[in-house]
């Protein structure tokens, strides 16, 4: 059966408003800027433009929240920004407040800050003042100059401008990108302040000077307080490793870090495999491929005892010593390896997918001996195998998806292919075993996810709106799947019915991970989310400057979380506290 997931998680977006009487123009001016003649007149005029163009209510047209549910109102200040009179008034009022703070430079996140930044610059020229401007991209441009921001940053203090302040998510993205460039925000200026606890906390935590023109009640909107407080986790940065030399073109999952007790291991697109100290991020050793081609190491390593295993673009599978990086063995019978090794120490085997440039034999799934790298068995297929195998010790079975749009199930000891089941699309990630239901869950590039029992019968099927690059997470009676359609879905593992849908700010390529009873996943917006399945709520976010396409990993030794961005950088952060926040 096919189930289209419609249920939505109760995550914060625009809170439910309650109507109040709109204050008079004089009351608005007194609240926003005090009695001040000309400024009062401009505030009243701008208020009328915003009210007419940018305050949209559901009595005028249908409005949907990020959860797909009806929403009573929406503020769209881009309509005011694209009105020449409205934009001019905002720029004038900005200069009324910031002229005595010059020199400074001004900028913000695309798209909203672009017209406002330009208008402020032009008004500065009228005053004989040159103001540098910049625009931060939501996601790094993956071709051309690969910029995270447009324009240049000077040494002048930074004023970030935006249409509004709600949770602080938009300006946090700007802060993260500027921090990577070694800059900080001095001032924040917005047109409308929602006056939320989350926004207030962002301003206080980042110690910025905050100025705004209006608040929501002045437009007859009061935020509802219907939701119960949700504890939010607080995170702090530990270290960053940025010397990996990756590139920005292919926004795809890469070499997810693997951990032992002391070190973190991963490879990059430039053909270098690294071992880092988990606590400090210092490089312990590196291993460089002799012949690195594009996307040289996309294989995620696996660690066992004192050895680490991975595949490469050379077509080799490597086994290195974890202490020294010295090569223990290599398997050389493929033309390319993007699949990740799956270890079965109880069988002394490693399973991995291979790519071959042989007509009619484009790929294979191979079992190698862990100690020697010698081939134990191999199963050939017509197309390349980019997906990774999964092994169940409990069931003694190996499953692997292929580019032939099939899931294969093997008995690894007898080397028998038990069955092959169609998946609808190519499989680029590992499937997940669901032992409680004696099933296997697999996602495919056509956006479908299937649960298949051990006899090869389809139990249920769910269709998302874009490709699935991620391995599903089976946690209790739920299956979590990340989709490139900017949603993470929770599915009832028994029936296949939708439980909830979490809308995210970017595409989701990274597989969700269960860590300490909570689920962590990253998106291409650079946001790492913490989700508490017990209360069905997002309970924390970490904004990183780059796209996250790989699973988040955690070390029980250091207590640190590690995120690898698509360009090969590693970000380490720590969960330090919890506090109550009003959604």
Structure tokens, 330: 């290599």
Kindly tell me if the per-residue pLDDT of 20 is higher than 50: no
Q: From residue 312, how far is each of 254, 292, 410, 529 by CA, in Å?
A: 11, 8, 24, 30
Residues in the chain: 583
Across the range 12-25, mean pLDDT stands at: 39
Neighbours of 224 (CB within 10 A): 11
Across the range 321-326, mean pLDDT stands at: 97
Neighbours of 418 (CB within 10 A): 15
pLDDT grade for 229, boundaries at 50, 70 and 90: low
pLDDT tens-digit readout, 237-268: 999 998 765 666 677 789 999 999 999 999 99
pLDDT at residue number 24? 44
Weakest-pLDDT range from 5-14, 25-34, 83-92, 492-501: 5-14
pLDDT at residue number 90? 94
Degrees, nearest 5: CA angle 21-25-27: 75
Across the range 320-330, mean pLDDT stands at: 97
pLDDT tens-digit readout, 538-554: 999 999 988 999 999 99
DSSP codes of every residue in 537-575? EEEEEEE-SS-B-S--EE-TTT-EEEEEBTTS-EEEEEE
Q: Where are the chain's structural domains?
A: 17-223
In sequence order, which ranges of 127-258 are alpha helices (DSSP H)?
A: 169-180, 197-206
Kindly tell me if the per-residue pLDDT of 27 is higher than 90: no
Structure tokens, 69: 């549910």
Across the range 20-37, mean pLDDT stands at: 45
pLDDT at residue number 228? 58
Across the range 129-146, mean pLDDT stands at: 81
pLDDT grade for 516, boundaries at 50, 70 and 90: very high
pLDDT grade for 74, boundaries at 50, 70 and 90: confident
Higher-pLDDT residue of 3, 514: 514
Kindly tell me if the per-residue pLDDT of 201 is higher than 80: yes
Degrees, nearest 5: CA angle 183-528-158: 15
Contact, 306 vs 265, CB < 8 A? no
Kindly tell me if the per-residue pLDDT of 476 is higher than 90: yes
| Straight-line distance from the first to the last Cα atom of the chain, in angstroms, rounded to the nearest whole number | 37
Kindly tell me if the per-residue pLDDT of 18 is higher than 60: no
Number of Cα atoms under 13 Å in the Cβ half of residue 558:
22
pLDDT grade for 570, boundaries at 50, 70 and 90: very high
The pLDDT mean for the chain works out to 88
pLDDT at residue number 9? 38
Kindly tell me if the per-residue pLDDT of 343 is higher than 60: yes
Total-model pTM: 0.81
Q: Which residues pair with 264 in a beta bridge?
A: 259, 276
Kindly tell me if the per-residue pLDDT of 22 is higher than 90: no
Q: From residue 158, how far is each of 211, 257, 461 by CA, in Å?
A: 14, 35, 50
Kindly tell me if the per-residue pLDDT of 525 is higher than 50: yes
pLDDT at residue number 62? 79
Weakest-pLDDT range from 2-16, 289-303, 319-333, 383-397: 2-16
pLDDT grade for 578, boundaries at 50, 70 and 90: low
pLDDT at residue number 302? 98
In sequence order, which ranges of 457-539 are alpha helices (DSSP H)?
A: none
Q: What class is the 17-223 domain?
A: alpha beta
Whether the link from the prior residue into 103 is cis, omega within 30° of 0, is yes
Contact, 19 vs 224, CB < 8 A? no
Torsion sign, CA atoms 496, 498, 504, 506? positive
Higher-pLDDT residue of 421, 13: 421
Contacts of 514 (CB under 8 A, 6+ apart): 473, 475
């Amino acid at each position: 059966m096919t189930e289209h997931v419609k249920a939505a998680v109760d995550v914060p977006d625009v809170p439910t408003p309650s109507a109040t009487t709109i204050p008079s123009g004089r009351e608005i001016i007194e609240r926003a800027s005090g009695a001040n003649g000309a400024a009062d007149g401009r505030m009243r005029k701008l208020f009328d433009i915003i009210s007419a163009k940018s305050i949209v209510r559901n009595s005028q047209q249908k409005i949907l929240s990020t959860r797909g549910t009806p929403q009573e109102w929406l503020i769209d200040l881009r309509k005011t920004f694209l009105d020449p009179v409205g934009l001019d008034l905002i720029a004038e009022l900005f200069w009324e407040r910031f002229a005595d703070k010059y020199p400074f430079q001004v900028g913000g996140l695309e798209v909203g800050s672009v017209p406002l930044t330009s208008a402020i610059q032009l008004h500065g020229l009228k005053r004989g003042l040159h103001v540098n401007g910049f625009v931060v991209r939501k996601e790094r441009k993956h071709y051309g100059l690969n910029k995270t921001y447009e324009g240049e940053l000077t040494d002048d203090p930074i004023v970030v401008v935006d249409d509004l302040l709600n949770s602080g998510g938009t300006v946090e993205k700007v802060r993260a990108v500027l921090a990577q460039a070694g800059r900080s925000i001095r001032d924040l200026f917005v047109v409308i302040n929602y006056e939320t606890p989350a926004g207030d906390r962002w301003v206080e935590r980042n110690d910025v000077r905050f100025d705004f023109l209006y608040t929501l009640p002045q437009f007859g909107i009061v935020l509802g307080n219907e939701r119960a407080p949700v504890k939010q986790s607080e995170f702090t940065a530990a270290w960053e490793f940025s010397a990996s030399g990756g590139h920005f073109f292919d926004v795809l999952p890469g070499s997810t870090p693997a951990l032992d007790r002391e070190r973190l291991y991963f490879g990059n697109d430039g053909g270098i495999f690294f071992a880092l100290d988990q606590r400090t991020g210092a490089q312990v050793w590196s291993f460089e491929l002799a012949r690195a081609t594009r996307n040289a190491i996309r294989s995620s390593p696996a660690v066992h005892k004192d050895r680490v295993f991975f595949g490469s673009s050379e077509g080799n599978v490597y086994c290195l010593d974890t202490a020294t990086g010295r090569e223990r063995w290599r398997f050389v019978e493929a033309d390319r390896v993007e699949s990740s090794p799956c270890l079965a120490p109880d069988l002394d085997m490693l399973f991995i997918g291979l790519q071959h440039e042989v007509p009619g034999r484009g790929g294979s799934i191979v079992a190698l001996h862990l100690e020697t790298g010698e081939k134990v068995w191999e199963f050939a297929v017509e197309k390349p195998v980019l997906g990774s195998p999964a092994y169940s010790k409990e069931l003694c079975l190996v499953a692997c998806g292929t580019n032939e749009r099939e899931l294969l199930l093997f008995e690894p000891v007898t080397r028998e292919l038990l069955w092959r089941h169609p998946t609808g699309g190519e499989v680029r990630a590992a499937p997940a075993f669901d032992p409680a239901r004696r099933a296997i869950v697999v996602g495919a590039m056509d956006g479908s996810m299937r649960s298949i029992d051990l006899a090869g019968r389809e139990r249920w099927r769910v269709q998302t709106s874009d490709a699935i690059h991620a391995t599903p997470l089976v946690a209790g009676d739920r299956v979590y799947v990340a989709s490139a359609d900017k949603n993470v879905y929770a599915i009832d593992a028994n029936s296949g019915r939708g439980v909830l849908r979490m809308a995210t700010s970017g595409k989701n390529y990274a597989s969700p991970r269960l860590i300490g009873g909570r689920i962590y996943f990253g998106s291409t917006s650079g946001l790492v989310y913490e989700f508490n399945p017990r209360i069905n709520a997002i309970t924390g976010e970490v904004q990183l400057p780059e796209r996250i396409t790989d699973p988040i990993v955690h070390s029980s030794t250091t207590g640190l979380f590690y995120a690898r961005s698509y360009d090969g950088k590693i970000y380490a952060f720590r969960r330090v506290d919890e506090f109550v926040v009003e959604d």
